[in-house]
Amino acid sequence: MKPADVVGSAVANTFRSKTRTILTVLAIFIGAFTLTITTGLGTGINRYIDQTVAEIGAEDVMTVAHQAEETTDDGPREYDPDAVTASGLGADGPGGGQTIDPITDDDLVTIAAIDGVESVEPLKQVSVDYVQHDDGTRYEVSVGSFIPGMELVLASGEQPDADAAEPQVAIPVDFVEPLGFASQGDALGGEVAFGVTDATGAEHVVTAEVVGVSESGLIGTGNSVSPNTALTDELYAVQATGATGQADVYGSAVVTFDPELGEPATQALKDDLDEAGFTATTVEDQIGAFQSVIDGIVLVLNAFAVIALLAAGFGIVNTLLMSVQERTREIGLMKAMGMGSGKVFGLFSTEATFMGFLGSAVGVVLGMVAGTAVGDALATTMFADLPGLTLIAFDPVSVASIVVLVMAIAFLAGTIPAGRAARQDPIESLRYE
Amino acid sequence: MSTPVLRVEDLHRSYGRGPTRFEALKGVDVEVRAGESLAIVGKSGSGKSTLMHLLALLDRPTSGSVELNGVPADRLRGRELNRVRNETFGFVFQQFFLTPSATVLENVILPLKIAGVGRAERKRRGMAVLEQLDLADKAKNRAIDLSGGQKQRVVIARALVNDPQVIFADEPTGNLDTTTGAAVEDLLFGLNRERGITLVVVTHDEELASRCDRRITVRDGRIEASATAATTASGTGTTAEPGRPAEEVAA
């Protein structure tokens, strides 16, 4: 028998006892459907996280700060009588635990000298008193740190240009109307003013052009305005006016490295920074923990779906054992006519695989339809505050792998009845009443 | 004289071992000559079906030799054996063993499908053989919708489709009424005469056996008598019950 005929016959045999086949396929369908939804959930959430990662910062930067006193890598910390006083001195409030030494210009030089560091920039943190448009109402606002390479999720307009000499800013979508703009389009190109109090208590006003309107995100730029480098520098300079010696110390610095060199190189760079007394955090580190939790949950959900599929696998075993029993004489006849045991095995295992294919194909298609419908519905209701979040999303690879997985399970289930059919003695089978 | 199609010598076949050991055949010698029709008769449990299974290479003897066209059959293994059986033999059983839901044509071309013949060729040869047996108009019908005689004709068509050298018929008329049975017999003997297909019929129907060129009677695992049609035509000792329904296949 040719392979094509084996498949053809197996497919035809599948529909011979329709009720039984439909029930078995239904069981597979339930498993495949569930697996599609749970996988879709994982894909959707992770895709959103990836999007958020791009928003928080570029892949080629890490945030570097002095190691906190409490941060030691391994095991319990050795007692150090000086450390107590050290942390006591720097305590910000009652029970305050630790202080982080600021990054100084000397530190920047040290960091820049470390192998693998392409460039280092101090992260200038600025705080403004209010934002205002055209003498309208003043609103409190926080100013985000703009790291070159980060990408805001924009409702309209464009990203603030890091290299532009003019101060530019992207404002959150929630600020558009309160500030007095008629629409997002109206806001673009408009001017906003930031009130800043300097070290001496004097107030200053810095103006910037609105180039973009940002969506509120999960982690990133939720309710803060996103300035470009020029605006950050200007705000920082104004804020530091009159400060003594404070101008050149920063909370943290941003190191640019080459992510193309791979994980080991990045880790080596981190280790070097660690030795020099700094902690370095990449965007991946910040997001990684979050993502592992999501992955863990999705894994558990998937496990439930796979359990459903295993149960369906026993359904296949049951169905095909009945078929083998019913078709004993037919099998005997085919063997008498010179059909090899291997082909008989192929016939029944293909039938099982085909059932798996039917169940998974229907399950995957309906799963995608249902998942997309639910995802869309939730996006406009429950997750309306998180634009860009499609709770259940699908990518072709994972969808295809579900089908393949289900077919593999079905094939394995089919080997039991197929093996029994292949072992049948033609004489015994023909005698079977 | 030319090489016989099938020759078995000192054939033994036993089942089980130890105290439950049962010897179905106790040293049988048979020659099946090309183009003849041979009846293997015997009572239920005599070993006639076992003999047929060994002749058809469906079973292997415990001892003794089986030769197909002068070649020892024990040299054939696995794939080769399957191919030889597929190309050389046709089977007609008492039960029809048709796939009920499949069409007549699909049932008939099963041996060709097993042999790996292409789709178009299968259909052509299947239709040709159905034409011969006046079943062409039933090609698209489901096998389950046919009458008993039609079903047996489909079975014969299936046995014939791969142009076999030998057709084994195990109680071919056992499930048919006398008239239909006679028509099926005519068909089989016609093929034997006109196309020179060797016919091996296993039966305990005296009338059918007497139509064969030659008969061998199996009793308790041995060949009791071997006779040609001329001598058996007149004297019969065994009781014949034409049209009797199937009561045995086990042997």
Mean of the pLDDT values across residues A85-102?
A: 45
Closest CA to B126 of B88, B165, B161, B79: B161
Q: B243 falls in which pLDDT band (50, 70, 90)?
A: very low
Architecture label for domain B34-60+78-232: 3-Layer(aba) Sandwich (3.40)
Phi/psi of residue B126, nearest 5 degrees: -65, -45
d(CA B169, CA B94): 8
CB atoms within 10 A of CB A17: 14
Q: What is the per-residue pLDDT across B180-230, written as a single tens digit (0 to 9) for each?
A: 888 888 888 888 888 888 888 888 888 888 888 888 888 887 887 777 655
Which of A16, A339, A343 shows the shortest C-beta gap to B101?
Answer: A16
Residues of A in contact with B91 (CB under 8 A): 333, 336-337
What's the confidence (pLDDT) of residue A370? 92
**Which of A253-262, A297-306, B242-251 has the weakest average pLDDT?**
B242-251
d(CA B209, CA B39): 5
**Which of A372-376, A384-388, B35-39 has the weakest average pLDDT?**
A384-388
Torsion angle defined by CA atoms of residues B163, B169, B175 and B179, in that order, rounded to the nearest 10 degrees? 70
Calculate the average pLDDT of chain A. 80
d(CA B194, CA B188): 10
Residue A227 structure tokens: 């300035």
**Which of A91-95, A259-263, B68-72, B199-203 has the weakest average pLDDT?**
A91-95
What's the confidence (pLDDT) of residue A357? 94
Choose between A370 and A117: higher pLDDT: A370
Alpha-carbon gap: A328 to the closest alpha carbon of chain B (Å): 10
What's the confidence (pLDDT) of residue A91? 36
Cα B86 to the chain's mean position, in Å? 13
- Based on the number of CB atoms within 10 Å of its own CB, is A235 exposed (0-12), middle (13-18) or buried (19 or more)? buried
Question: What ipTM score was computed for the predicted complex, to two decimals?
Answer: 0.81
Taking only Cα atoms into account, the Rg of chain A, rounded to an integer number of angstroms, comes to 32
Cβ separation A337–B250 shorter than 8 A: no
Testing the interface with A: which of B82, B117, B171 to mutate, by most A Cβ within 10 A?
Answer: B82
Alpha-carbon gap: A421 to the closest alpha carbon of chain B (Å): 16
Q: A55 falls in which pLDDT band (50, 70, 90)?
A: low
Q: In the A/B pair of chains, how many CB contacts fall below 8 A? A: 56
Alpha-carbon gap: A415 to the closest alpha carbon of chain B (Å): 21
Q: B247 falls in which pLDDT band (50, 70, 90)?
A: very low
Choose between A369 and A255: higher pLDDT: A369
Domain boundaries, chain B: 34-60+78-232
CA separation, residue A267 to residues A68, A118, A157, A284, B13 (Å): 19, 15, 37, 12, 76
Cβ separation A338–B78 shorter than 8 A: no
Most confident of the ranges A47-61, B148-162, B226-240? B148-162
Mean of the pLDDT values across residues A339-357?
A: 91
What's the confidence (pLDDT) of residue A148? 64
Mean of the pLDDT values across residues A128-135?
A: 85
Residue A307 structure tokens: 């359990």
Sign of the alpha-carbon dihedral angle for A345, A347, A352, A354: positive
Three-state SS at B176: coil
Q: Among all residues of chain B, which has the CA nearest to that of A331? A: B97
CB atoms within 10 A of CB B120: 8
Please say whether the beta carbons of A31 and A306 come within 8 A.
Answer: yes
Cβ separation B102–A12 shorter than 8 A: yes
Residues of B in contact with A332 (CB under 8 A): 97
What's the confidence (pLDDT) of residue B242? 44
Most confident of the ranges A106-120, A272-286, A340-354, B66-80? A340-354
Residue A212 has pLDDT above 80, yes or no: yes
% of chain B at pLDDT higher than 90: 0
Most confident of the ranges A55-59, A114-118, A350-354, B113-117? A350-354
Mean of the pLDDT values across residues A166-175?
A: 84
What's the confidence (pLDDT) of residue A246? 53
